[in-house]
Structure formats: structure tokens, C-alpha cells
Structure 1
């Protein structure tokens, strides 16, 4: 393999040692890197940072529930061709005018090596990963309408993200290098915050993060706040110029300040309201 650059994180992205090992192992093995983890832990951003760190162009394929694997290869626009034939257009005689290149085709025919992000693969139909097995393994596919075999000029670095909404097929998993992004511990989170809010006062940061982790560990919470949400919360705390004393909670006021940045459904808001009610009753 000619590509020897290593990923070691960037100034704007804190990558743990096991994450950098996973990225570089996938590159060395020339296998897709399958990244799982809670929503908001930086899976999608990882691909962008790998692209930036290695100086490679980025091709993003964001998967929806209606996305089909074929769309990543190419789409044949038969309707436009029929319309043009009825209008007597000359371009109708060349079928290539009606082939729309998908994200894999773009990555395969890029001028140099690229990073291909297949984002949230678990949103698609269960057959979606299986439908891409051969194409990702062999780095080629056949275009039936033109009789062409499209092969990768430069094998892209493929990063696939999943939020674990669906189990992925074993045959697909065998072809990937897997990494689970664990939720950051307090020290790692402080490093992440320092990147986004350099010079944040230590007492405010410690008070806020202690409260944040207490909220995450509250029994019965439906949706735990994520890394992206704690960053939003800290941005609001700074905008409101709140002090560590302002953040203190007691039994009568269990909801955190500006809780809308952390709690994203009414069940979790009601949970903290019930905790406050129970605390008042015990006084």
C-alpha cells in the first residue's frame, strides 16, 4: 500500500488512542471502518477530521430510511430519456447522458485517494448493507446500461457510522474493522471542552461537568445528553455569564439551568420535576 500517512487527531478533534489505532488499522487493512456509539459522540465528525488531517477530499453519503444501495453506485434516468426521445433530442442516443453517478462511483473515480463517509447505515433497510458487500469488498461494480465495469482508481478510505438502530448482517461485519466510541470520561471531556472553549474557568467547568454526568447517570432517563449537547449547554452558560453558584441544584429545584439544551423530551423533564417534588416531600 502506497498510502502511509497516519491519523493522530487534529487540533479541533480530540481522538483517543484506541480511536486513532482503529482508523489507522482500517486504512492499513484497506477495510471499511465501522464506527458505532451514542448519537452526538462525534462519529460523523471523525470522517471529516480524517479527511482534514490526511489532506484528502471528502465524499459524504447520508443514509435515510428510503435510501437504496443502488443509489450509491448510479441511477439510470429512464423517464428523462423517454421524454427526450419524444422531443427528438439528439442526446437520447447516448445512454451515458442518463446515468447519474452515485457517491461510490465518485469516490472510485476521484483523481486521488478520498475519504468516503457512509453515514448512519442502520437507518436503511436491513438488506442495504448486504447489497453493498461486493462493491465495498472488490471496489468495483458493473453498469448494465452501458456495459462498463467501474473500478476504483484509488481505493478510498471508507468510514461507516451506525447508531445501533438495527443489527447489521454478519457478512457485512466480517468485512469491516469495528470501533465503538465510548462516551468520554471527565478528563477526556475536559480536553474536548478546551478545544471549543479555551480558557474556561476551572471551577465553572468542573461544576458544570459534574452536574452533567450526574444527569446522565440519573435512573430512568430516557435520553442521555450527549457530547454535542453539553457543548451547547456550556455555550449558553457562558453567554448568560453564570457562575458555579448559579448552577447549584437542591431538592426543590432538580432541573438544571437552561435544561432545554440537555433534556430533549417531556418524559425526562417530568422525571426531574418528580425528583424535586419527592425531595420537597421528604423535608
Structure 2
């Protein structure tokens, strides 16, 4: 089976991602250029009908046409672009060649779950849900739940009613069987359109849970004893499995997986993520900042966003080194932090605390007249509002309260 390219298998001219749009701009010399900008999308999901062929052991989601013959659609949830590293792009290709699942570890909030959905959208666009299946593991989850469920209670009740009524018709037993996300991924995956399965936070389940999936991961098949059905996929789906490393996974399970640990992004990749998740921040609310220098040293310039990112890295390191705090600050907290800045800078008239209002009001003036490192430091060091986006443990909040200046009586 030939691997399907990622990010996008059939990009439009000049665009390498379904999340991309072409925006006119200017280069450093002032020449007109067209830039490719990644941004979140809200897909138009087509209404579909599930068709299962029991003889062939396959299934598909067929688009339902409306009265005019066109697909009936509804707005889906927002999907943010994923900024993959070269290693991740290569891993997606390798997983298809070797037909092995990808085990992704990383700090909470590092984008492990988002990757699978982004791949599905890159491959299938608005119809991605017909090919993408999510299995959110809980502490009570059993391996069979992802394959199928069988309503034994309804089956028993109806059999009793049938017996009492004297009805002799043979019952269709498969109506009590419902396929789970893994079962659906096996059924719908084809050579030209492989399905994508996300098994999210596998370490939440019992220690035996991963071992109970070994046969299915190895041979891509499973049986349903209640109905006598046997599901065997010829073209395996692409499987993503995420773990927060809350508990160790069995060696036998690990041997069957390809592995990727998602690191906290570097500054360049982080800026791409910020641009994609918070449109306008880098264009509208960024500003040149004059760095503090010693006498006779040449003036140095940076940007507000560069200093904010630098401060966030420092905060992240402070929290990591605190022996009383097990909180791991990751990309999602960075985005929350900057989302708050972006909103307040764009809505200066909304009621806020006095300190925050004064800083926001002064920001526009400082941007026009010249922003200093000291001014930015005040905004990233002493404004308590923004810190609530990242200080999500009792230890961190208590420490922050101790650092805040005390109000005068």
C-alpha cells in the first residue's frame, strides 16, 4: 500500500496545506509578495449514511444528497492547523509503510491529540469525519469497547417478549451489535482512502488494556462471538496512540509501535504555532522594542512577542525546577497566555483591573512613540491576570501570591 503524503496529498497550486490561504503582502524591500498563512478552519461536514456490507466485511459513510442533489452540510467544530516537524512528517510516512501504530508521548498540552485530527483533515478535507475515528480511553475502558458493543440486556428482554407473544420470526441478532471506533476504522479503511484512528490517553486504562489489543494491532482483525462475525481489514488504518506517561506501558505493546516524543517547540516553530492559532497577534499587536543597553553600546531592537516568548520560557523553567510543583507548562498554556494579551489589546475599552487597564492603554501609545524593555517587562512580570492562564496547580498559585506586591493599607 503506497503511503499517503502528509501534510496534503493533493495541494492546490502554491499551497502545501488545506489549512493554508494565500495573503498578499510585502517583502523586506517593499516588493509585493504572496504569503502562505496557516489558520484554523471550520469545516462544512456533509451528512452521511452508514452502509455495512456483512458479506464483504466492509463499510463506508456515503454522503446523503439533499433535494437539489447537493450534499447537505452542517458546520463542524474548529480545527487548528498542526505545525509538524520533519520528524513527524517522516513518522507518518513510515507508519504507513510498516503498518504499525504511532505511540506519541509528550507533556499535556503539547498537541498529541491534535496531530491525528490534523492529518485526517489534510487528507480528506470537509469529509474527514467519514475516515477519522476517536477512542477516548477512560479508567474503566476495556479493549473490546473500541471494537464493538453488544446490547445483551435488550437482546434478553426482546427474546423474553417474543417467547411470551408466541412470535416465531427469527430475530436479526446483529441489530444489537454496534461497532466501536477501532472496529469502524478497520471496516472503512481502503487502499486509496486509509482510515485514521486516534486512541487517546491509553495510559488512563488498566495495565492489561494495551496487552488486550495486541492481536488487533498485529493482525488487524477481530471476532464477534455473539453474532459469529469476523472482521478482517485488508488495508490497515493509520493509528495514533497518545500517552501522558502516567504509567508504564507493557514491553510487548511497545514493541509493536513506532515512537515519537513531542518536545516543547523551539522559538521558530512556536511562532508558527502562535500565528496559526491567534490570527492578528503578530501582525496587529506586535511592536518593536528597544532593549536596555549599557552606555556607549549601540541600540538593540527586538519585538514585543519575542520578549513575551522569552519570559514564558523563563516561567516554564521556574515551574519545572520547583520541587513542590508537578505542573508541566506546555504549548497550550503559552497560547492561552497570548490569547489573553491579544484579546485585551484589541478591546481596550472593556472593564479590567486598574493595573491592567493602565498597561493596556499605555501599550498603544508606547507602540507609536517607542516601546522599552522595561515597559514590556512590567506587562509580562507584574500583571497577575495573565498568570492565571498557566499557574494551574495550588503550589504555583500560592507561590505567585507570595510574589505579588502587597497592597498598602
Q: TM-score, normalised by structure 2?
A: 0.63
Tell me the secondary structure at the aligned position of residue 5 of structure 2.
coil
What is the CA RMSD across the aligned residues, in angstroms?
Answer: 2.3
Aligned to 1:248: 377
5 Å-filtered alignment, 1:205-244, equals: 205-218=305-318, 219-220=321-322, 221-241=325-345, 242=360, 243=363
How many Å separate the matches in 2 of 1:263 and 1:92? 61
Shift of residue 157, structure 1, vs aligned partner: 0.4
Is contact 2:189–2:237 with CA below 8 Å preserved after alignment?
no
Tell me the secondary structure at the aligned position of residue 93 of structure 1.
coil
Shift of residue 87, structure 1, vs aligned partner: 2.4
Aligned to 1:95: 173
How many Å separate the matches in 2 of 1:90 and 1:48? 48
Aligned to 2:402: 274
Is contact 1:26–1:177 with CA below 8 Å preserved after alignment?
yes
Is contact 2:107–2:328 with CA below 8 Å preserved after alignment?
no
Q: 1:128–1:96: structure 2 CA closer, same or farther, 3 Å change rule?
A: same
Tell whether 2:97 aligns with 1:28. yes
Tell whether 2:390 aligns with 1:262. yes
Shift of residue 4, structure 1, vs aligned partner: 2.9
Q: 1:213–1:92: structure 2 CA closer, same or farther, 3 Å change rule?
A: farther
Tell whether 2:82 aligns with 1:82. no
How many Å separate the matches in 1 of 2:395 and 2:204? 24
- In terms of mean alpha carbon deviation, does 227-236 or 268-277 score higher? 268-277
- In terms of mean alpha carbon deviation, does 224-233 or 118-127 score higher? 224-233
Tell whether 2:139 aligns with 1:65. yes
5 Å-filtered alignment, 1:135-214, equals: 135-199=216-280, 200=282, 201=286, 203-214=303-314
How many Å separate the matches in 2 of 1:225 and 1:111? 37
Is contact 1:114–1:157 with CA below 8 Å preserved after alignment?
yes
Is contact 1:61–1:118 with CA below 8 Å preserved after alignment?
yes
How many Å separate the matches in 2 of 1:60 and 1:237? 33
Shift of residue 131, structure 1, vs aligned partner: 0.2
Q: 1:198–1:255: structure 2 CA closer, same or farther, 3 Å change rule?
A: closer
How many Å separate the matches in 2 of 1:118 and 1:43? 11
How many Å separate the matches in 2 of 1:14 and 1:134? 33
Q: 1:35–1:84: structure 2 CA closer, same or farther, 3 Å change rule?
A: same
Is contact 1:255–1:269 with CA below 8 Å preserved after alignment?
no
How many Å separate the matches in 2 of 1:107 and 1:230? 34
How many Å separate the matches in 1 of 2:150 and 2:226? 8
How many Å separate the matches in 2 of 1:157 and 1:25? 10
Q: 1:259–1:107: structure 2 CA closer, same or farther, 3 Å change rule?
A: same
Deviation per residue, 1:178-230 (Å, 9 max, x gap): 01001112222111112123451152211211111111000314313221121
Tell me the secondary structure at the aligned position of residue 188 of structure 2.
coil
Tell whether 2:235 aligns with 1:106. no
How many Å separate the matches in 2 of 1:94 and 1:116? 29
List runs of 5+ in structure 1 lacking aligned partners: none
Q: TM-score, normalised by structure 1?
A: 0.89
Which protein shows a greater Rg?
Answer: 2
